[in-house]
Amino acid sequence: MSSREHWASRAGFLLAAIGSAVGLGNLWGFPYKASANGGAAFVLVYLAVIALVCLPLLVVELLIGRRTGESPVLALAMVGGPRWRWLGYAMTLNAAVILAFYSVVAGWTLLSAGRTLLLGLPADPAAFFSSISQGPLAIVGHLLAMLFTAGVIALGVRGGIERLSLWCMPLLFVLLVAMAIWASTLSGAGEGYRFYLQPDLQELLRWPTLTSAAGHAFFSLSLGLGAIITYASYTQGQEGLGCQAGMIAAADTAVALVGGLITFPLVAHFNLLGSLSESTVGTLFVAIPTGMASLGGLGRWLAVAFYGVLVLAALTSAVSLLEVSTAAFIDRLGWSRRRATTLAVAAITLLGLLPASDSRWIDVLYTVFGETGLLFGGLMLALLVGWGQPRLEGEAPLVVRRLLRWLGTPVLLVLLVQSLLHLPQVVAPLLQS
């Protein structure tokens, strides 16, 4: 284990973990899901799930990673016994499938940023978006995103992931806050905030609202698929885990909330609230450039900043997804980092051709793997730590184990069953055509 890589600094690890959590889920998924699922009702469920279920699980993933110094397959076998090895494999596979569609959306952000930077805003944003969202250009975007992600991972934990996070995350925060302040000065901002946060409490009684908010909380915190276990396995020392978990969750939630404070005022200012409630995957990619174009030359640079934020957020998350598979090959098969990265990237890139060719796959893969899969991973961890006898030598705080046993397990069980029942509805349209 002595040859294993480590983070150079505590700040580097924290920024990398926050970089994994803060991603397209916060800036693209959260606002449109919140608006489509009852505004503040969605936000309330989201916050409750984060505080009561995700935070204890985040502590557990950090603890398992740090304690074992291994990626999920070996780590779970060490903590739960060999019987739990399958969960490590399932998580690793889940991370690979998520990256396959995540990198397609990351490709949209790269192409949108590149086009706006080099050529200005497209004259017809809807047509531009439909040209890049599936088909040959989407494949190019996907390849670019995978290439970049692979480059970072091949450079290693310190030289790649940590260095990227130390540069990107502060830049991302500054750009985000600056954009939120600017958005608050727009006429119509108030209407946007109201649309975003008006509580439709009836939504709290609908299962799809509950499962999508809970699933989204897992996705947003990168929980339930071993990304946090993997990152934590490169830490040393005994720093307060609760404190680290709190900082990661707080930063991730803050970015999601601030993301909404940017997009809703903008969309309201440009009179596009109607198009937002259609809640298609492409809303932001069409609504934002449409609005920005009306601001003339300045709009182009604001759009570059906006897409720049999306690119930074997407790539730091994609990197963490790829590290799960890469670390599994390195730890399990003793491969070199370069060889492990090459194989993982080749397989995931191939799989990504599916969602890149037909964007309806993104929704399906997100629901099956990004929502249901993560709830499943979370439930299994809750069972292992809340009910089993994990070899964590008294390190898992009692309150965490109790929460997972009496609250996490039943809540996750119900949510998982509900989301499984909902799956046929999501997959059906794809099978019909």
Q: Does 230 bind ligand PHE (CB under 6 A)?
A: no
Give the C-alpha separation, 345 to 199, whole Å. 43
Residue number, 99 or 356, with CB nearest to ligand PHE: 99
List 14, 16, 24, 169, residue binding ligand PHE (CB under 6 A): 24
Q: Does 59 bind ligand PHE (CB under 6 A)?
A: no
Contacts of 83 (CB under 8 A, 6+ apart): none
Task: Return d(Cα 10, Cα 360) in angstroms, integer.
Answer: 40
Taking alpha carbons only, the member of 236, 211, 232 closest to residue 222 is: 232
Closest CA to 415 of 218, 225, 280: 218
How many CB atoms are located within 10 Å of the residue 71 CB? 29
26 binds ligand PHE (CB under 6 A): yes
Please give the torsion angle defined by the CA atoms of residues 30, 32, 38 and 39, in that order, rounded to the nearest 10 degrees. 60
Q: To the nearest whole angstrom, how small is the minimum distance from the Cβ of residue 270 to ligand PHE?
A: 25
Kindly write out the interface string for residues 277-316 of this chain, putting x where it contacts ligand PHE by CB under 6 A and - elsewhere.
Answer: ----------------------------------------
User: Interface with ligand PHE includes 317 (CB under 6 A)?
Assistant: yes
Q: How many residues bind ligand PHE (CB under 6 A)?
A: 15
Contact 204, 38 (CB under 8 A): yes
How far CA 6 is from CA of 1, 233, 343, 385, in Å, comes to 11, 8, 23, 26
Question: Which position among 23, 72, 260, 282 is part of the footprint of ligand PHE (CB under 6 A)?
Answer: 23
The verdict on 25 binding ligand PHE (CB under 6 A) reads yes
Binding to ligand PHE by CB under 6 A, coded x per residue (else -) over 112-141, reads: ------------------------------
Say how many residues make up the chain.
433
Distance from C-alpha of 287 to C-alpha of 107, rounded to nearest angstrom? 18
Q: Is 20 in the site for ligand PHE (CB under 6 A)?
A: yes
By C-beta, is 50 or 268 nearer to ligand PHE?
Answer: 50
Site string for ligand PHE, 187-226 (x = CB under 6 A): --------------------------------xx-x--x-
Residues that bind ligand PHE (CB under 6 A): 20-21, 23-26, 98, 219-220, 222, 225, 227, 317, 320-321
